[in-house]
Amino acid sequence: MTLDSIFIAPFVDYGFMRRALVACLALALGSAPIGVLLMLRRMSLMGDAMSHAILPGAAVGFLIAGGLSLPAMGLGGLVAGLSIAILSGVISRTTALREDASFASFYLTSLALGVLIVSLRGSNIDLLHVLFGTILAIDARALYLVGGIASLTIVILAVVYRPLVAECFDPGFLRAVGGRGSLYHFLFLLLVVLNLVAGFEALGTLMAVGLMMLPAAVARLWAQSLPAMFATAALTAALSGYLGLVASFHFALASGPTIILTASCIYGVSLLLSPSGLLRRLYPRRHFKA
C-alpha cells in the first residue's frame, strides 16, 4: 500500500470520487467564510436551524420531480430557506421575539413539515438521502450548482465586505451613520441559505452545517484577524473534505458523516494545540518582560 494508492489513486481511478472532491473543495471555499461570519454574529446555531428550514422546500422539489432530483430539491430548498429567513427577520423587527426565537419556531415547523412531505411518498431510504446527502452520487449539474454558489458567495462577500463586517461588528453604529445594515444582513442570510443548499446537495441537510461551523470554530482557535480566519476556515474545510473522502473510500464509510467527523478531529486537535488550547494551559511559556 503506497501513499499514492492511499491518497491519490481513488481520485484517479473513480470519476465519482473526483466529482465528490471538487464539490467538497467548492463547498469549503464558500461555506467556510460564511460560517466564520455566522459564528462572529453569535448565530452559530442559526445555521443549524436554517438547514432544517430548507427541508420542506427540498421535499416539495422531491415530490414534484418524482424522486431524487438535485436541481429541483435545491431550488425548493432555496425558496423555503429564504422565506423563513425573511419571515423571521420581519417578525423579530416587529415583535418582542428575538431573531433566534422566531427562527426556532419556524424551523421546527419547517422540519416537521418536511419530514411529513417526504414520508407521504418516498421510502425511508430517500429520506436518508435528503438528510445525509449523496456526495458520491453527485452529477455534473449538481457540481455546477455547488461551484456556482461558491463563486457567487466569494464575489458577493468581496463586494460587501466592509458594510457586512461593520454590520457584524457594531450594528448600532452602522444604523446611526445611516448605512443600511438590514440590507446587508439580509444579503448575508441569502448567502447562508445558498451555501446550505449547496452543502445539502453534497452532504445532506444535517451535515451541511457541519462543514460550515466546525471549520469556523477551528479558525477562531488559531487566527487573530478576520482574513486569517477566513483562510484557516476554508483550508480546514477543504482538508476535511479531502481526508474524509479518502477515509470513507478505504474504510467503506458513509462519506458525509466521515467528512464532518474529520473536521471534528481537526477541531479536537486544535482544542489541544492552539495558542489558547489545553496544552498551553498545562505548560505555559514564561511571560515577556513587557
Partner 1 sequence: MGGLATMMLSSIKLEDVTVAYARHPAVHHVTGAFSKGSMTAIAGPNGAGKSTLLKAIMGELPLAGGAIDRGGLSARDFGYLPQAAEIDRQFPMSVADTVMLGAWHRSGAFQRIDRQAVARAQNALTAVGLEGFGARNIGSLSAGQFQRVLFARLLLQDAKVIILDEPFTAIDARTTRDLLDIVRRWHSDGRTIIAVLHDFDQVRAYFPETLLMAREAIEWGPTTVAMSSRNLLRARAMAESWDESADVCEEETAAA
Binding positions for partner 1, rule: CB under 8 A: 40, 42, 159-160, 162-163, 165-166, 168-179, 184, 223-226, 229
- Which amino acid appears at position 217 of this protein? A
14 to each of 9, 136, 147, 195, 224, how far by Cα in Å? 8, 10, 20, 26, 39
17 versus 36: smaller Cβ distance to partner 1: 36
What minimum distance in Å lies between the beta carbon of 11 and partner 1?
Answer: 35
CA dihedral sign of residues 166, 167, 172, 175: positive
71 versus 163: smaller Cβ distance to partner 1: 163
120 versus 177: smaller Cβ distance to partner 1: 177
What minimum distance in Å lies between the beta carbon of 196 and partner 1?
Answer: 24
What minimum distance in Å lies between the beta carbon of 229 and partner 1?
Answer: 6
What minimum distance in Å lies between the beta carbon of 224 and partner 1?
Answer: 6
Residue-wise DSSP of 91-115:
HHHHSS--HHHHHHHHHHHHHHHHH
42 versus 250: smaller Cβ distance to partner 1: 42
What minimum distance in Å lies between the beta carbon of 176 and partner 1?
Answer: 5
108 versus 183: smaller Cβ distance to partner 1: 183
Of 167, 209, 204, the closest CA to residue 184 belongs to: 167
Please give the distance of CA 125 from its chain centroid, rounded to a whole number: 23
20 versus 219: smaller Cβ distance to partner 1: 219
What minimum distance in Å lies between the beta carbon of 272 and partner 1?
Answer: 21
Residue 184 is placed in which grid cell?
A: 446587508
108 versus 176: smaller Cβ distance to partner 1: 176
Residue 70 is placed in which grid cell?
A: 438535485
What minimum distance in Å lies between the beta carbon of 160 and partner 1?
Answer: 7
Contact 173, 166 (CB under 8 A): yes
In angstroms, the CA 110 to CA 190 distance is 18
Contact 219, 33 (CB under 8 A): no
Residues 6+ apart with CB under 8 A from 249: 10, 17
